Amino acid sequence: MSKTGLDVYDHHGEDQNGKGRCWWINLVDIEEGKDQILFSLPMILTNAFYYLITLISVMFAGHLGQLELAGATLGNSWCTVTGIAFMTGVSGALETLCGQGFGAKLYRTLGIHLQDPEISKAAALYLKYLIPGVFAFGFLQNILRFLQTQSIVMPLILLSGIPMCIHIGVAYALVHKTALGFRGASLAVSISLWISTLVLVIYVIYSKKFKKTWEGFSSESLRHIGVNLKLALPSAAMVCLEYWAFELLVLIAGMMPNAELTTSVIAICVNTEDIAYMCSSGLSATVSTRVSNELGAGNPDKAKQAMAVTLKLSVLLALLIVLSLAIGHDIWAGFFSDDLSIMKAFASMTPFLAVSIAIDAFQVVFAGVIRGCGWQNLAVIVNVVAFFGIGMPIATLLGFKFKLYSKGLWIGLICGLSCQTCTLLLITLRAKWTILYLSEPEENELSLIKSQKYAFDGERDR
């Protein structure tokens, strides 16, 4: 008998004598669930710590006044739209290439691959000092994917937690103890992101865990640029389109009556959604790694089983986040501002925010599968239609024409998220789960073309 005592049952929940069914084994794969929790918790904490570096600075700026909060959130949104989303998306190619390469034991491939003028002025000032941090973020995301696809995640808790704690002191000192004030909040982000990057670089260089997967820089990596770009660019577009939809709401809010209040409330909602997304993205990273590793090892059935377990875990996580938001929404809003009008407006948005968080919890799992299988081209089309063909038009119509303002904007976003999630679900159910062969650049490109051409022939082959 195994240490879990579960191997007397087959995968249908029947014992070896063919008698009875164990319903709770069918409900959740205990062993797979445990492994995913042990992997996802460090990733959830790591993503949250890195995101808090930018969010804490917005909070410090927000307590300087309503204008400062609106300016900081708008500046942070513009930075996300123009830089962070792209950097995050490009690194998604590594989840496919490194993940499948690790699963196939090809270890060397891992190391080779519009608004109120005052608000606008404040946002531009905030953004100016945030620019250096974008470059650091690009390096940071790629190193994280390199570690994630090898299931090396526990050290990341410490390596991300320390810079986040340092950031609190740096942000407080620059905002309140120097003449920089508002500018110090964004400068602190840049400093802390570079600290985070350097810490990870040192870890990779000096740790013995990467002897097989990191042999230093080599001209051989230039041969793999083609296949990397074929995945990196669609992956960047896939992520950017979703980020842009959320951040576009902040820009649209600035065109509404009482722009400072509306922008601040929508920005808090977006940041709250982002925090929930960062938690759920821990599960997204988990399923991406599990799917890519299993496909790399030639086990598509195990990859599908891993996705099913992740979906169940995402339901539990979504329930915890929504419950916390329902109970503590006033406390949460208080971290951003002491203005009672902002806190009251945010409270009225909480039910809509809960719905979007619940839907997003499922979406990130399917997005992880998309990255793990290398179907980023399909996701680009889905995100364009869902957010910019459906979500944003509905948001604009309800927000301006029907004068629902903030609520109208968020209802439109919910419509876009719903369409996106349902379509990604359809793709995962009907597409053919295959490996991208990684032994040679020429085979990589051929495999990538084939996987895109035959993505929907799975039903025919079954």
Task: Compare 186 and 107 and report the one with higher pLDDT.
Answer: 186
Task: Compare 446 and 390 and report the one with higher pLDDT.
Answer: 390
Most trustworthy range by pLDDT among 110-114, 118-122, 322-326:
322-326
| pLDDT band, residue 111 (cuts 50/70/90) | very low
Distance CA 4, CA 26 (A): 15
| pLDDT band, residue 71 (cuts 50/70/90) | confident
CA 57, 387, 237, 455 torsion-angle sign: positive
Instruction: Answer whether residue 397 shows pLDDT above 90.
Output: yes
| pLDDT band, residue 217 (cuts 50/70/90) | low
Q: pTM score, two decimals?
A: 0.74
Per-residue pLDDT averaged across 440-462, rounded? 44
Instruction: Answer whether residue 96 shows pLDDT above 70.
Output: no
Percent of the chain with pLDDT over 70: 76
Query: Is 438 in contact with 444 (CB distance < 8 Å)?
Result: yes
Cα angle 372, 314, 168 (rounded to 5 degrees) comes to: 90
Task: Compare 399 and 111 and report the one with higher pLDDT.
Answer: 399
Nearest Cα to Cα of residue 187 among 170, 199, 200: 170
Give the model's pLDDT for residue 392. Answer: 95
Task: Compare 220 and 17 and report the one with higher pLDDT.
Answer: 220
Distance CA 70, CA 64 (A): 11
CA-based radius of gyration for the chain: 22
Distance CA 63, CA 172 (A): 12
What H or E segment, with its residue span, contains residue 138?
helix 131-148
Query: Is 309 in contact with 291 (CB distance < 8 Å)?
Result: no
Secondary structure of residue 263 in the 3-state scheme: helix
Task: Compare 250 and 396 and report the one with higher pLDDT.
Answer: 396
What H or E segment, with its residue span, contains residue 4?
none
Distance CA 51, CA 46 (A): 9
Q: Across the strands, what pairs with 9?
A: 15
Give the model's pLDDT for residue 124. Answer: 87
Distance CA 411, CA 394 (A): 8
The pLDDT tens digits of the residues spanning 307-353 come to 999 999 999 999 999 999 999 999 999 998 888 999 999 999 999 99
Instruction: Answer whether residue 114 shows pLDDT above 60.
Output: no
Domain definitions of the chain by residue range: 41-461
Per-residue pLDDT averaged across 342-370, rounded? 94
Distance CA 184, CA 129 (A): 8
| pLDDT band, residue 27 (cuts 50/70/90) | low
Distance CA 82, CA 93 (A): 19
**Dihedral Cα 101, 89, 301, 305, nearest 10 deg:** 130
Instruction: Answer whether residue 138 shows pLDDT above 80.
Output: yes
Give the model's pLDDT for residue 297. Answer: 84
Instruction: Answer whether residue 7 shows pLDDT above 50.
Output: no
Task: Let me know if 304 is exposed, middle or buried by CB neighbors in 10 A (0-12, 13-18, 19+).
Answer: middle
| pLDDT band, residue 292 (cuts 50/70/90) | confident
Nearest Cα to Cα of residue 130 among 78, 66, 86: 78
Query: Is 357 in contact with 276 (CB distance < 8 Å)?
Result: yes
